A and B are shown apart, each in its own frame.
Chain A
């Protein structure tokens, strides 16, 4: 599969004219998904999508086009369309393809070799078991909205007229279940999931138990009075917070003045002792790859170091604009979009305490397990952060009354300044990227309640 794909990529770049840079990105996937409801298979889905995305650069103008049809005439039309698009773009000397690729590099851990032996029946059995275990995890779970197992086997190939060339394969598997728990008049929902390179790496019992716990823990929740108080993010909400920050940490968003970090490079942006790292090769993380979406080798980038913003995340064009090197941070949403910079696997470095120690340190605090309305309430441009939350009150290190229908708010730079501890319980969560969430203590935020 990878040889064919690379051959197609090569044949696309052979269509380059003199003084043109051409890049071809190809993706070929096999996908499978099974969803269960009420102890039965609700739906099965399988597919084998593939396609190509092409960038053509002429005299500093870049155009992009994609196609799912890869015959000779289709490829001629594809390159021609990208070329025509380039002629509408504004010339910009920063616009160029990378000249140094990491195409020959491989990451061995991206494939679970056992996954090829897993049959569709095995996968359906897994999903049915996940649903059953979720329902049985707690008597208050009255329904499981759905249990899902999905996987994909992807081959990615790239070639450019600058000599970049490579292909790699990865396998991914993930599962989730949604528990609906009821007690008295109150209903709560608990979503939990797991991801790995193959089905063998997924734990249905853990997902079932944690999902039921997430729903049952907040049954009977009520508002608390408005106050300023310490907030503890659990790994879920900590990862979602990183997801918002991630948008603002790219060179492109800062250069264009649409980041809360604009003008802050080399300045203090977070509490002393706090460090934030983006690691394109983090082992087992969903965003790991040998090279990025334009073929540049991935690496580890220290974004915040002891509270100071030390680097942004760059693709080739944004790096050239700042006179820097790409950090291997180009990403794409499949072959239908041109690359742009984004975090790969972004996480705070742990500050040396366990989850229990961090919770004990918090005193009387609100432990937040779910954010509501993040995409409207958190603004990576202005830094405003005001979201609805569900969680539990913690007092003297133990979890107490469940809380809902309250909001927490504070500008994001102040939240970063108030982070006192990051526990060692990191897990990778795919919230519009790959973010490492760990139990995180913020010394004070505004709670809006009754």
Chain B
């Protein structure tokens, strides 16, 4: 993407007025997206975005500049902008570049650009037909197909050199159903790191049928009760809670600012022996995986909680420098135009010994949370809120009827203390995580989990 001679000149220019570390990140990204709504293929978009971001770290300060011109002169200008504010003597010359030992790659088996546009359109139409044939109450179907190929290079003045070639594909279906003024939605959006083969494993018609089934089921929903209840979290989607309530507070940029509820609490017990939580960027072909992070650190598995005890955190180069240990391969950025931040990859609560059906049977009156629409946490306090897009009442050990407008409200550290059972039916769930105005593909993984008691917000007081 860029020859080593040019890279050397750019890094040297970046360090001309001092600094501890200079880095260049070069990216070439092609993407395409197709969207169907109202039975029509309306938005077909594609684009190519190339550019480079240059960063200089000096003590606790980082400065950054980017350009979408990749000629040497433009890169040298960006390097000059990136060292703004530095007035010192020139730092030692950059070390010779050596390729880092990257984690496993996640190649595309079927290159999406080799698939005719007509096939992608046919997939959207199959989704539309499948959703509409699921029931007369289906009013709208929005189906989307998107692929992105991102080729990148990272080189640093400490000699680290890494390249990655990432392809991701995602297929999403949103179904709107209506009956007598009640409107419901159902959503499914599987994705992976890899190529068009996703749609062989997950045919569009099947994805659409699941989304339609959710929307139709929720038409019978009654208002959710409000109060404190036992809650059973469905496998997969419930991992969103782990991501939000445990993961964000263990991102080291938050820890070093003393802005996390978990700061200074390593070694403390937060829950039972069965609770082990890891962040693992190496899961094969997973949506949240990569082979090296966006600072050139290999992806790895990092244990956050082991048998209920806080043992680890996730870091990027800067936060690892402040803490004084090695980065964990969680430095990610949305594009060359963004500064890296500590981000999760695939964050998983490892499976436990318990029987999911037994958990439901044990609940006298509570909620079965089947799908979350998303959530939000304040890392400083650990307080979180999650909306449930599909949920059911559990009465006398049986799932009885769907409920709407339910959400979960609580506190991350406290939630780990009320995990009473973890099932063996582990599943993944793909999502997009927002932080500092940047989006990152992430996966969460979890089996069925029983929370002994937690606050449910709803419309029935």
Residues of chain A whose beta carbon lies under 8 Å from any beta carbon of chain B: 37-38, 40-51, 53, 62-69, 81-82, 84-90, 92, 120, 124, 143, 145-146, 178, 180, 187-189, 223, 226-228, 255-258, 260, 262, 336-338, 372-377, 379, 381-388, 404-411, 446-450
A228 touches B461 (CB 8 A): yes
Does B236 touch A at the CB level, under 8 Å? no
Bound Cα distance A257, B184 (Å): 11
Q: Does B63 contact A (CB under 8 A)?
A: yes
Question: Given A90-B42, A92-B42, is A447 in contact with B383 using a C-beta cutoff of 8 Å?
Answer: no
A263 to B222 alpha-carbon distance, docked (Å): 23
- For B44, B65, B142, B455, the residue with the greatest tally of chain A CB atoms inside 10 Å of its CB is B44
Cα of A48 to Cα of B81 in the assembled complex, Å: 11
Residue of A whose beta carbon sits closest to that of B257:
A145
Instruction: For chain B, residues 75 to 115, give those with C-beta under 8 angstroms from any C-beta of chain A.
Output: 81, 84-85
- Chain B residues contacting A377 (CB-CB under 8 Å) are 373, 385, 387, 407, 457
Residue B381 at the chain A interface, CB threshold 8 Å: yes
Give min CB distance, B282 to chain A, whole Å: 29
* A224→B63 CA distance, assembly (Å): 46
Alpha-carbon distance A89/B455, docked complex (angstroms): 47
Q: Which residues of A contact B63 (CB under 8 A)?
A: 43-45
**Contact, CB under 8 Å: A257 / B178:** yes
Number of interface residues of B (CB under 8 A): 79
A23 to B261, CA, bound (A): 50
Contact B386 A258 (CB under 8 A): no
Judge whether A405 and B410 touch: CB under 8 Å. yes
A448-B65 in contact given A67-B48, A407-B385 (Cβ < 8 Å): no
A182: nearest residue on chain B (CB-CB)?
B380
Interface contact B176-A381, CB-CB below 8 Å: yes
- Neighbouring B residues of A256 by C-beta, 8 Å: 37-38, 140, 142
Hey, what's the 0/1 contact readout for B31-71 against A, CB within 8 Å counting as 1?
00010011111111111111100000000111111111000
Which one of B67, B185, B259, B374 lies within 8 Å of A48 (CB-CB)?
Answer: B67
User: Which B residues are in CB contact (< 8 Å) with A41?
Assistant: 61, 85
The chain B residue sitting closest to A86, CB to CB, is B44
Known: A143-B258, A180-B259. A376 touches B387 (CB 8 A): yes
Distance in Å: Cβ of B166 to nearest Cβ of chain A: 19
State how many angstroms separate the Cβ of A138 from the closest Cβ of chain B: 16
List A contacts of B339 (CB < 8 A).
43, 45
- Would you give 26 A-B contacts (Cβ < 8 Å), ordered by A? A43-B339, A44-B64, A46-B64, A46-B81, A62-B42, A64-B45, A67-B48, A82-B46, A145-B257, A146-B257, A180-B258, A180-B380, A187-B381, A228-B461, A256-B37, A373-B374, A373-B385, A376-B375, A381-B185, A382-B185, A382-B404, A387-B407, A388-B385, A407-B226, A407-B455, A411-B459
CB neighbours of B407 from chain A (8 A): 373, 376-377, 386-388, 407
State the Cβ distance, A29 to closest chain B Cβ, in Å: 11
User: Shortest distance in angstroms between B35's beta carbon and chain A's nearest beta carbon?
Assistant: 10
In contact, B43 and A338 (Cβ under 8 angstroms): yes
CA–CA, A88 to B411, complex, Å? 48
List, in ascending order, chain A residues with CB within 8 A of B84's CB. Answer: 44, 46, 120
B458 CB contacts on chain A under 8 angstroms: 386, 407, 409, 446, 448
Cα-based distance from A180 to B383 in the complex (angstroms): 14
Task: Answer yes or no: B118 CB below 8 A from chain A CBs.
Answer: yes
Q: Would you call A50 and B34 a contact (CB within 8 A)?
A: no
> Pick the contact of B60 from A40, A90, A373 — CB < 8 Å?
A40
List 9 A-B pairs, minimum CB-CB distance, nearest first.
A407-B457, A448-B226, A376-B387, A373-B385, A388-B385, A376-B374, A66-B47, A376-B373, A85-B44
**Interfacial chain A residues near B456, Cβ < 8 Å:** 448
Which of A50, A62, A381 counts the most B-chain CB atoms under 10 A from its CB?
A381
Contact among A47, A260, A372 with B66 in the assembled complex (CB-CB below 8 Å): A47
List residues of chain B with CB within 8 A of the CB of A381: 176, 183, 185
B65 near A47 with CB under 8 A, answer yes
Question: Would you give the shortest CB distance from B444 to chain A, in whole angstroms?
Answer: 14
Q: Does B419 count as interface, using CB distance less than 8 angstroms? A: no
Report yes or no: A336 in contact with B337, Cβ–Cβ below 8 A.
Answer: no
Q: What residues make up the interface of B, taking CB atoms closer than 8 Å to A?
A: 34, 37-51, 60-68, 81, 84-85, 117-118, 120-121, 139-140, 142, 176, 178, 182-185, 224, 226-228, 257-259, 261, 337, 339, 372-376, 378, 380-381, 383-387, 389, 404-407, 409-411, 455-461
Q: Look across to chain B and name the residue whose beta carbon is closest to the beta carbon of A54.
A: B47
Partner of B49, one of A68, A146, A178, A409: A68
Question: Out of A81, A84, A448, which one reaches B457, CB within 8 Å?
Answer: A448
Which residues of B are found within 8 Å of A450, using beta-carbon distances?
228
B46, A373: Cβ atoms closer than 8 Å: no
Q: Which residues of A contact B64 (CB under 8 A)?
A: 43-46
B residues less than 8 Å from A408 (CB atoms): 457
Would B409 and A388 count as touching, CB distance under 8 A? yes
Given contacts A376-B374, A409-B458, contact A187 B380 (CB under 8 A): yes
Q: A43-B62, A45-B339, A49-B66 are in contact. List 8 more A-B contacts (CB 8 A).
A: A47-B66, A48-B67, A69-B50, A188-B380, A372-B409, A373-B375, A373-B387, A382-B184
Q: Is the CB of B405 within 8 A of A46?
A: no
CA A81 to CA B380, docked complex, whole Å:
46
Query: Are A375 and B68 CB-contacts (below 8 A) given A386-B406, A448-B456?
Result: no
Nearest chain B residue, comparing its CB with the CB of A448: B226
How near does chain A come to B101, taking the closest CB pair, in angstroms?
29
In the assembly, what is the distance between CA of A43 and CA of B227, in Å? 44
In the complex formed, the residue of B with least CB distance to A408 is B457
Q: A90-B41, A256-B37, A383-B183 are in contact. Are A373 and B376 (CB under 8 A)?
A: yes
B51 pairs with A68, CB closer than 8 A: yes
Across the interface, which residues of B come within 8 angstroms of A40, CB to CB?
A: 60-61
In the bound complex, what is the Cα–Cα distance between A404 and B182 (angstroms)?
A: 30
Provide the residues of chain A in CB contact with B184, threshold 8 Å: 382
Instruction: Name the CB-closest residue of A to B225.
Output: A448
CA distance A406 to B374 in the complex (A): 18
